[in-house]
Structure 1
Amino acid sequence: MKIIIVDDEPLARARLEALLGECEDAAVIASVSDGEAALATCMQAQPDLLLLDINMPGMDGTALAQRLARLPRPPQVVFCTAYEQFAPRAFELGVVDYLLKPVRLERLREALQRARLRIDAAPGAAPALTARSRDEERRIPLAEVIFLVADEKYVTVHHDHGEALIEDSLRQLEQAWPEHLLRVHRNCLVASARLLGIRTLDDGRSVVRLAGTEQTPEVSRRSLPAVRRHVRGDT
């Protein structure tokens, strides 16, 4: 993910760049001190994400975000500021996240995950999940996903070619692609297009049958009515 840092404070830019060095799939392509320079750089480099201060001389962060939204391919924006009072206006502008300084690594990673989901779900982009390891990054098209199971820190994606671990939460994935993913249990989502039916076991538990696998994820009582409606085609 190509990132531009925009902040009029050199120390703040240096801190963000150092934190991004500890994040996977985060390449800083520019670090600038004002909105005008950021806009010019965006026109040339077409970044995926801006980490943007709000209170800057000249064109401030909110004005820049408004200008960026009019670009043919607008980047995602995460505001990084010391002021809480700008948050309502920031989210009206559709930014990905709002980080308070000093920015913590954990919150920065959360913001990057949200940005990736937005980028993958953008119009014209083939829906896909991103699996990462120390040595590589791999995109898994949603069309190849069968089901996903959450287990402590990671989510396991079961797909047509095997399994992979991703860092996105089930909640984030469910919100990003409600038309593709259906919750069947608090720790499991299934691909809606793969759902063949529901089977009741001898012990009374319900499981789903899915195209592409012999595994049958369990359906919770809470999710069962919605899953039944989906099988009947009522959704």
Structure 2
Amino acid sequence: MRVLIVDDEPLARTRLAALLAGCSDVDVVGSVGDGEAAIDAVGECQPDVLLLDINMPGISGTALAQRLAGSKRPLVVFCTAYESHALHAFELGAVDYLLKPVRLERLNEALQRARLRLQQAPGDTGGYLHGRLRGEQVRVALDDVISLLAEEKYVVVQHRGGQLLLEDSLRQLEDAYPDTLIRLHRNCLVPAQRLIGLKTLTDGRVLARLGGTELMPEVSRRNLPALRKLLRMG
């Protein structure tokens, strides 16, 4: 099993590497100190599992997990000194949540869970958006999202089951899912897979045809060339 260590503390990375040396069937393919380096390392090393710190400068561990969400994302084991992030970590599909200082016994348990996940459901690590519905925290799968519209302090997610309010900005969502969400105009994102065509009105405005819905958001002139290119590329 190929493992990548991601932690901004050099001593923490060294300790995890030493613990992993005592684990069977584990190959440490890299050790990096921030989220940007982790993104590059994931592409280069193709790890099966990330041992991922949460509180890092720049891209946090949870933001990195969201950004990598998709069918080819490595499995994630969060390693952190704080218990408060546990619920959100598991909502992101984490295999396990280890508290620092990490003990060898717990590390082995987490790696075994990862092995089982890889054997039982390889590649099944889809992403979710997390927001509020009538005051309660809920989540919706990215595959079910139709559009995201900015309205005052919130982003309204239209999905196959209704609506969801997010406190994240469109920019934050666009940065978290650069390969999944595309911008139609400054107040609207849609999943790239939803875009099936463009309709030009008599007054020159252009609307986006979206699969699975009658909703047709307007496209800004600034974003129109990129959308036409995307459609040509299929």
TM tier relative to shorter chain: 0.5 to 0.7
CA distance in 1, matches of 2:136, 2:68: 19
Provide the secondary structure at the position in 2 that maps to 1:78.
coil
Provide the secondary structure at the position in 1 that maps to 2:174.
helix
Provide, for residues 186-231 of structure 1, a one-character-per-residue CA deviation record: whole Å limited to 9, x for no partner.
1111111111110111221111011121111110000000011111
CA distance in 1, matches of 2:52, 2:134: 26
- Shift in alpha-carbon separation, 1:152–1:144, aligned structure 2, 3 A: same
Structure 2 residue aligned with 1:77 = 54
CA contact (8 A) 2:66 2:127 kept: no
Provide the secondary structure at the position in 2 that maps to 1:228.
helix
1:131-170 correspondence to structure 2 within 5 Å: 131-133=131-133, 135-170=135-170
CA distance in 2, matches of 1:170, 1:67: 38
Shift of 1:116: 6.9
Shift of 1:68: 5.2
TM-score (norm 1): 0.54
Instruction: In structure 1, give the amino acid aligned to 2:160.
Output: D
- Shift in alpha-carbon separation, 1:73–1:227, aligned structure 2, 3 A: closer
Shift of 1:67: 4.3
Structure 2 residue aligned with 1:123 = 74
- Shift in alpha-carbon separation, 1:118–1:222, aligned structure 2, 3 A: closer
Of 49, 60, 71, the match for 1:96? 60
Provide, for residues 139-163 of structure 1, a one-character-per-residue CA deviation record: whole Å limited to 9, x for no partner.
2111101111111211111111111
Structure 1 residue aligned with 2:12 = 64
Structure 2 residue aligned with 1:20 = none
- Shift in alpha-carbon separation, 1:119–1:166, aligned structure 2, 3 A: farther
Structure 1 residue aligned with 2:96 = none
5+ long unaligned stretches in structure 1 = 1-51, 55-60, 80-89, 98-111
CA distance in 2, matches of 1:224, 1:218: 10
TM-score (norm 2): 0.54
Provide the secondary structure at the position in 1 that maps to 2:196.
strand
Shift of 1:132: 2.6
- Shift in alpha-carbon separation, 1:67–1:216, aligned structure 2, 3 A: farther
Shift of 1:180: 1.4
CA contact (8 A) 1:146 1:159 kept: yes
CA distance in 2, matches of 1:133, 1:120: 23
Percent sequence identity over aligned pairs: 45
CA distance in 1, matches of 2:65, 2:169: 13
Structure 1 residue aligned with 2:43 = none
Once superposed, what is the RMSD of the aligned Cα atoms? 3.1
Poorly superposed stretches of 4+, deviation over 4 Å: 65-73, 118-122
- Shift in alpha-carbon separation, 1:173–1:123, aligned structure 2, 3 A: farther
Structure 1 residue aligned with 2:106 = none
- Shift in alpha-carbon separation, 1:66–1:219, aligned structure 2, 3 A: farther
Shift of 1:75: 3.5
CA distance in 1, matches of 2:215, 2:139: 23
